[in-house]
């Protein structure tokens, strides 16, 4: 199981490595698919590579050079960046 705990909420990446779920007190709070919202990356595998806990958001790295943030309260995804010409 891949996940991070923050207080009573546990954030978990599903086996498909594209979907993030939030459980509060053992009950599903929200579920969101990062790849379907942000789109497939042109560089790297289409999967969540890193999930970091920030104060109000989860920071998600997917593909090789794509980032998104998820609001911890409601699961809303904000696409942050895609770097194509990184050297």
Find the helix or strand (DSSP H, E) in which 37 lies: helix 34-38
| Rounded Cα–Cα distance for residues 68 and 59 (Å) | 6
- Confidence at residue 5, expressed as pLDDT on a 0 to 100 scale: 92
3-56 per-position pLDDT tens digit? 899 999 999 999 999 999 999 999 999 999 999 998 887 777 889 999 999 999
Quick one: CATH architecture of 2-82? Beta Barrel (2.40)
Handedness of CA 42, 45, 47, 53 (dihedral sign): negative
**21: nearest Cα among 78, 80, 70:** 70
| 7 backbone φψ class: left, alpha, beta (φ>0; ψ -120 to 50) | left
Give the residue extent of every domain in the chain: 2-82
């Amino acid at each position: 199981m891949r996940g991070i705990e923050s207080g009573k909420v546990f954030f978990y990446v599903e086996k498909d490595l594209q979907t993030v779920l939030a459980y509060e007190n053992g009950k599903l709070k929200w579920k969101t698919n990062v790849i379907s919202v942000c789109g497939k990356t042109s560089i790297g595998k289409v999967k969540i590579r890193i999930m970091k806990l920030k104060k109000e958001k989860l920071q998600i790295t997917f593909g090789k050079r794509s980032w998104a943030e998820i609001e911890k309260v409601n699961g809303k995804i904000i696409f942050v960046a895609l770097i194509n010409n990184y050297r």
